[in-house]
Structure formats: structure tokens, C-alpha cells
Amino acid sequence: MAASKKKRLGRGLSAILEDVELAYKQGIEDQEDKIKEIPLDSITPNPYQPRKRFDEEALRELSASLKQHGLLQPIIVVERDDGYMLIAGERRYRAAKLAGFDSIKAIVTNFENKNLRELALIENIQREDLNPIELAKSYKELIQEHNITQEELSNIIQKSRTQITNTLRLLTLSNETIKLIEEGKISQGHAKVLVGLDKETQKIVTDTIIGQKLSVRETEKLVQSIKNQKEPPSKIDKKLRLNRKLLKKGVEALKNRGFRAKVSQNKITISFEKEEELEKFLKFLED
């Protein structure tokens, strides 16, 4: 019985994805009468939208493109008694509002309420509009809601099982690390290296990634170095903080002497624009 339910739900999820693709294809190519010009203020965003953060700079760029070229791909909405609910295309919807548009082209389709969450999740997954954590939460929700395996989800959304597994593992990271990923302060590549580390060690590594602008490869080396250390993480953390403190102290001393200096990856960089500045620095060293 349970197996039958799982199979049925899996097919339903796949059908939802096909509905989204069909709405785009048929709505644009074969059923142009379904495309309407709808007032923006009559559209309500989908409350099940998994994407919580929108890149403001990217929205401004899309807004400028809409002003110059117009909307090339309509959004998808479902009609409601009080207007329309947005199903797919929230970035285009937001960019159109930013561009000062009064209305937007939309494909008006018909979906049941129970499918709205799945539609929002899949539309974003397919268009890669989510940050790594939002994507991981979407995968988890689809798996739990439909009682399907990672392999079945992989077949439905056309993503590799390995990719799904690695993305889901990000949810095992500490809340502090997850927040940094959501804010874009560390990349998914960095985050993968942190999986399996305890909360304290994650804090050490993320502080170093951000403070010293480490690449993923440099982060891998740092994590391996910490794993090889016999000292507890707290002592390693103390040494790292001490090094950064000394570097900052050195920069402040140079700035107080009138030199342009900054800290970058365990280095102090001093900039000279004039020969007199270099001579002043050399004299400073001699003194």
C-alpha cells in the first residue's frame, strides 16, 4: 500500500513539472489567446514561494533589460476571485514593478491549490533561482511531502542523484554556517568542505574564509590541516585570531604613519603612488 502511494505521488510530481513546461510551450506557441496583459497590482505572489532572497543588483539588471527589450517570456498566473496568483516568474514580476510597468504579459492557467507549493518549488529548481540552502530545503520538502527517494526525485527534476545528495547535506551544517551561505558570504563550494565538521571548527574555518578571502582549494587545505592537528580546535582558533590581530595592529601602525596599507590573505599590502612615498617608507624602515 505504502509502495503504491509512493509511486502515485511520484508520478503526480512529475506531472506537475510537465504542466509547468506545457504551460510555457503551449501558451506561447499554440495558445496565444491565453496570454493576457495583466495589471501588476492585481497579481499576488505565490505564498509557497521557496525563494526568500532576491539579488537586488540582478533585479536592477533585469529591470533595465525589460525596459530596453520588453518581456520575452510571460509569467504564469492562476486566476482567483480577487485577481491573480503568481505561479512562475517572480523575478520577472519584481523586475517589471521596479521598471515602473503598470502591467505584464502572463499565461493564465488552471492549477489546483494543492499543487501551488510543488509548482513553486519545481519552477525555481528547474530555473536555478534558489540559493544552495533554499534549494536543499526544496529538495527535502519534495522528498518528504511526496514520500519519494532521492533517486526518484533525481529522475523527476533531471538533476543527478549525487548533486541532490550533496545539496541536502548542507542542511547538516550549523545554523551560523547556513546563514552565511544564505547571505552569499561563503559559496556552495566552500560549504561542501565544511560538511562533517563540528560547530566550533566550522566557525573557525568560516571566519578564516571570510577574513582572508580563501578560495575553495585553500579552504580544503585549511580543513585538512585542522583535521591533522593534535591540538583542540579552541587552541587553533586562538592562534588564528592572534595572527589576524597582529596583522591588523601592523596595518594601523602604518596608517598612523601616513601609509596606505591593508590586510589580505596573511599579507600586509602597502600602496605607493609617488616616489616620495616610497622614499618615506624606506626611511621609516631604516629608522
Positions marked active-site:
90
Cβ-contact 261, 251 below 8 angstroms? yes
Please state, in angstroms and rounded to a whole number, the distance separating the CA atoms of residues 7 and 26: 28
- Report the distance separating Cα 103 and Cα 122, nearest Å: 26
Angle, helix 175-182 to helix 199-212, in steps of 10 degrees:
30
Q: How far apart are CA 132 and CA 75, in angstroms?
A: 24
Q: Which residue type is seen at 93? A: Y
Q: For residues 197 and 186, give the distance between their C-alpha atoms in angstroms, rounded to a whole number.
A: 16
In whole angstroms, what is the distance from residue 141 CA to residue 72 CA? 31
Q: Which helix (H) or strand (E) holds 262?
A: strand 260-264
